[in-house]
Amino acid sequence: MTTAWIALSVMISSEAAAIARVEPFWSWNTPIVWTAFILFADSVVFHARRSSWIRSNGREFCALALVSIPLWLVFEAYNLVIRNWYYVGLPEHFVVRMVGYAWAFSTIWPAIFGSAELVGTWRGTTGLSPVPAPQPVSATMRFSAWSIAAGALMLASPLIVPAGIAPFMAAPVWLGFIFLLDPINRRLGGESLFEDWETGRRDRLKNLFIGGLLCGLLWELVNYWSRAKWHYSVPIMEDVKLFEMPLPGYLGFPAFAFECFTMYVFVRLLFTRSIGPMLPAANWPQRSRPIAL
């Protein structure tokens, strides 16, 4: 647990320094805190399970961090249309700014997954690992067609509505990839959130939901006092905020956690053809065996 205590100390120290406007923490608080949070969560999970992303499958963790950058850029591209957030206080030098982007964006998926694993440990369940029994093919195929069509329509909607309506189309963006990709993942033999729901294996859903909300609260807390930060221009309840985020926006963080899972499973299937669980299920108090890509 030494790593966990060190990481927690870094998180608290960086946030305190950012509030006091002490550099480099004021300008780099977000990636520093989130790197420390990922190490904290991983250490706590490993201490409880003897299995964690970094210590049990470092190759997959590195892949997750690298893939996190282009996956988040998908949402940055959507933001060019919906214009729901913008950045201030970024480094003026282009290379330094790009390094900052890459560092910050590479922590997003690991933070979401680490948070879900942490919640699973707290709840005494596995984090992201359960593999439910499959449902009948006919029901799966019938649902898949409707879900894929609905997801595609959601993701296309910000691009086809009038420009004045586009800023109100955040919800379809934060939900569309779930409906589009989860049935595809299921058909390819990968892990599926809809399958979890249908088979009554809800622990992974609960862990992602709570973990996403936890990440959202911590993201906004860290962002609020940072110099390099984001502001929201969401045209809904703009004056009713917790930190920078309008209150309704916090509902998007659990949905985003589901999207993170679904998108990563799809990419994992696409590039590695791996249909097994990302990590072995916990088997307390025995040591779990790592799974290689």
Task: Tell the burial category of 162 from Cβ atoms under 10 Å away from its Cβ (0-12, 13-18, 19+).
Answer: exposed
pLDDT for the residue 37: 98
89 C-beta neighbours (distance < 10 Å), count:
11
The CA distance from 92 to 114, in Å, is 32
Q: Which of 36, 214, 251 is nearest to 116 (CA)?
A: 214
Strands (E), 70-147: 85-88
- The predicted structure's pLDDT at residue 289: 33
Cross-strand bridge partners of residue 242: 245
DSSP letter for each residue of 247-291: GGGGGHHHHHHHHHHHHHHHHHHHHH---S-SSPPPBTTBPPPP-
Output phi, psi for 176, to 5 deg: -60, -40
Beta-carbon-side half-sphere exposure of residue 167 (alpha carbons within 13 Å) = 11
Per-residue pLDDT of the chain (293 residues; tens, 9 = 90+): 789 999 999 999 999 999 999 999 999 999 999 999 999 999 999 999 888 899 988 888 999 999 999 999 999 999 999 999 999 999 999 999 999 999 999 999 999 999 999 999 998 877 787 544 444 444 555 678 899 999 999 999 999 999 889 999 999 999 999 999 999 998 888 889 998 888 888 899 999 999 999 999 999 999 999 999 999 988 777 778 888 898 888 999 999 999 999 999 999 998 876 655 565 444 333 333 332 32
Q: Tell me the pTM.
A: 0.88
At residue 139, what is the residue type?
Answer: A
